């Protein structure tokens, strides 16, 4: 469902639909090797969606981008990563 911006001008309400940049798509099934007793299929699908949002957020203005990426990191942490497993968001230096 598209977002809308609505405003009142001269007593009349106007709404403008905000176009969606990505159409709804079916998630691919996660590779079987990634699903274990530690990492469940639902969480792998969550990670696929969060990684996609992270990629799309690169086009946002700096302040909004930081808020979105901070929220993504908190979402991954809240998703229940097992101890000792870390998600590399593709921005960290190797060996960090």
Domain boundaries, the chain: 25-96
Q: Report which of 20, 47, 16 is spatially closest to residue 31, judged by C-alpha positions.
A: 47
Task: Report yes or no: 27 and 9 within 8 Å, Cβ to Cβ.
Answer: no
What CA–CA distances, in Å, run from 17 to 5, 9, 20?
A: 7, 17, 9
Over residues 39-66, mean pLDDT: 85
Residue 75: burial class (beta carbons within 10 Å; 0-12, 13-18, 19+): middle
Structure tokens at 74: 């908190």
Q: Measure the CA–CA gap between 6 and 15, rounded to whole angstroms.
A: 4
Residue 58 has pLDDT above 50, yes or no: yes
- Residue of higher predicted confidence among 96 and 69: 69
0.95 exceeded by pTM? no
């Amino acid at each position: 469902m598209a977002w809308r911006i609505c405003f009142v001008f001269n007593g009349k309400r106007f709404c403008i639909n905000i176009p969606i940049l990505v159409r709804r798509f079916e998630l691919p099934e996660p590779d079987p090797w990634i699903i274990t007793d530690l990492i469940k299929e639902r969480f792998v699908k969550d990670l696929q969606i969060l990684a996609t949002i992270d990629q799309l957020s690169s086009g946002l203005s700096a302040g909004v981008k930081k808020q979105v990426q901070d929220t993504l990191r908190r979402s991954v942490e809240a998703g229940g990563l097992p101890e000792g497993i870390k998600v590399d968001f593709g921005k960290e230096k190797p060996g960090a």
